[in-house]
Amino acid sequence: MSSQVKQNTVQALEGIHEVHMVPHSPFQLEEGPQCGYTHSSTYREDNQRLLMQRLWQQRPACFRPIHCCIQGDRNFVETIANVLTSLPFIALGINAPRKNLNTKLYANSLIGVGVASSLYHSSRGELRKYLRWADYTMIATATVCLSNALRNENPKLLMAATALFLPVQPLMVSAVHTGLMEVAFAKRALSEPELRMAHNVHKMSSLLGGVLFIADDVFPSTPYLHAAWHLAAAIGVGTCNKLLE
């Protein structure tokens, strides 16, 4: 009885225009266990990759690289001025005291500051933005070396944070270690009268350097502001060397 009903149903459907019943499809979809595992593994890897990309894009601002300002050096004369005013840092590094490992590292870092600055101001094109980053990073490295030379040993947590942030936030690292140096300089000047004159010069040069640094950022089209900042910073660094004698 059931076979007859089935046959009648098939005949009825085949009577409809362009409908043909096929008892068994010639194509069969078979999925082995290994194929399913491969698809699942690929899907999982894609999800992990997307998750890592989202985490990287949503990282805090302190872990994002600095956006370097690469303006300046608009003409040959300004470039020459910026390169020439970078050379005093090399001279200061050569003449800096080298009593121990920390002071040697600081002296060499000053030479690195002068070299990095000269290369940056001499550069053009795509390479310029990378050398700007190297310039900032070298300045931050010098402040870290000076902080270590003055304090002999900084807290391990501070140095770990410094190593973490130095490549991505060199300006922040410079600010922190410059602050430590300023505190150490002020304490030494209070207890050692022979350092008071150097400290007074240091305060004035630091204040002038800060004003010039901000002005250079606010008025980037003003010529020779950056060169003037180089000179003010070099005077401040020269007074810091008095602390290491």
pLDDT surpassing 70 at residue 108: yes
Higher pLDDT, 155 or 100: 100
Collapsed DSSP state (helix, strand, coil) of residue 149: helix
Listed in sequence order, the residues at least 6 apart from 241 whose beta carbon sits closer than 8 Å to its beta carbon are 92, 95, 96, 97
pLDDT at 74: 84
203: number of CA atoms within 13 Å, CB side?
Answer: 9
pLDDT surpassing 70 at residue 15: no
pLDDT at 244: 87
Collapsed DSSP state (helix, strand, coil) of residue 29: coil
CA distances to 1, 115, 144, 236 from 197, in Å: 117, 30, 24, 12
pLDDT surpassing 90 at residue 32: no
Residue whose token pair is 């008025």: 219
pLDDT per position as a tens digit, 172-203: 999 999 998 999 899 988 998 899 999 999 99
Distance CA 79, CA 120 (A): 10
Distance CA 73, CA 88 (A): 19
pLDDT surpassing 90 at residue 156: no
Closest to 141 measured CA to CA, from 118, 120, 111: 111
